[in-house]
Amino acid sequence: MSRSPGALLVISGTALFGTVGTARVLGPDDASSFAVAFARLLLSALVMVGLGVVVARRNRRGSAAAGAGSRVVAGLVRSPVVWGAAVAQASFQVCFLAAVVRSGVASGTLVAIGSAPLLTGLAVTVRTRRPTAGWLVSTLVGLLGLVLLVGVGDGLGRNDPLGLLLALGAAASYAGYIIASGGLLRLRQTLDSSLPVVFTLAVVLISPVLVLADWSWVASVDGLLMLAWLALVPTVLAYALFNRGLRHVDAPTAATLGLVEPVVATALAVLVLAESMTPVQWLGAVLIGAAVVLVARLGVQPPAAALAGAR
């Protein structure tokens, strides 16, 4: 496969990621973010595990496939890195789904996804104590964009303070997953084998919501449609497309192509949900996008495989 089809797969996957916020807002108002996150993770994990079993049996056949698969899963479950990735995954799901409800899809997605590469760079820079000029410039540009986006005017959602904090929490969780995924890569396991385990452990981490949340929304048509879309389209299908594309696209290119996600999210928010943006906030959004491009081209790079890890 050539580089161009690989890039097209990455773009397709990220475009599907960009539909998460709109799907959540169009879903039932009475569904809690914890419950939606749990249900999405659970259904996604079940589908991923099922697909993984089918592929393993096709490749190895019979008991040999089951034995090899069990050893891989056992090794992943024993790894602290995998648990760290699961914590980040669960935290991202809850924070992001709550942020888009409180702050609007456009602002919630732009802050969460736009800030994540900057926070990743900050974490790596603090650890290495070697800030690069590219990272410093991109961070300043991104911070200016963030201030313009959420601190000026009355467009683009509701500028809800708690919503902003939740979006930043989602960004921090995403950054944590990117860092943890570096350890996942050192385990020499592919995303196809590690993601189902990470999702399953994330389900376990937030399983107390089973007895604490109201689940009446699941019986509604809107609830079922929202859950089916969130789990199957911007999760299972999007990861499949994105991960296959990552085999043919390098990390800087994939990071830049990842800008499709907030672009799609913002377009859907404006066109479908009738959210508005002031000219100053449009400028802020552009600056956040420019900062992510700078991170991709000049600053600290996350592992390529991590870019699809926490959506």
pLDDT-derived band at 37, boundaries 50, 70, 90: very high
Q: Which domain holds residue 14?
A: 3-308
- Position 296 scores a pLDDT of 60
Number of Cβ within a 10 Å radius of residue 228: 13
Domain count, the chain: 1
Whole-structure pTM value: 0.80
What's the whole-number average pLDDT of the chain?
A: 79
pLDDT tens by residue, 185-209: 665 555 567 888 889 999 999 999 8
Q: For the segment 65-113, what is each residue's pLDDT rounded down to a tens digit?
A: 455 557 667 777 888 888 988 999 999 999 999 999 988 888 888 888 8
User: What is the rounded distance in angstroms from the CA atom of residue 181 to the CA atom of residue 302?
Assistant: 9
Furthest CA-CA distance within the chain: 62
Question: What does the pLDDT read at residue 2?
Answer: 45
Give the residue ranges of DSSP H helices in 160-190. Answer: 161-186
Q: Does residue 264 register a pLDDT over 60?
A: yes
Structural Rg of the chain based on CA atoms = 19
137-194 pLDDT, tens digit per residue, is 776 787 787 777 666 555 444 567 888 899 999 988 888 887 776 666 665 555 567 8
C-alpha 297/C-alpha 223 separation (Å) is 41
Whole-number Cα distances in Å, 272 to 88, 89, 105, 222: 30, 27, 11, 16
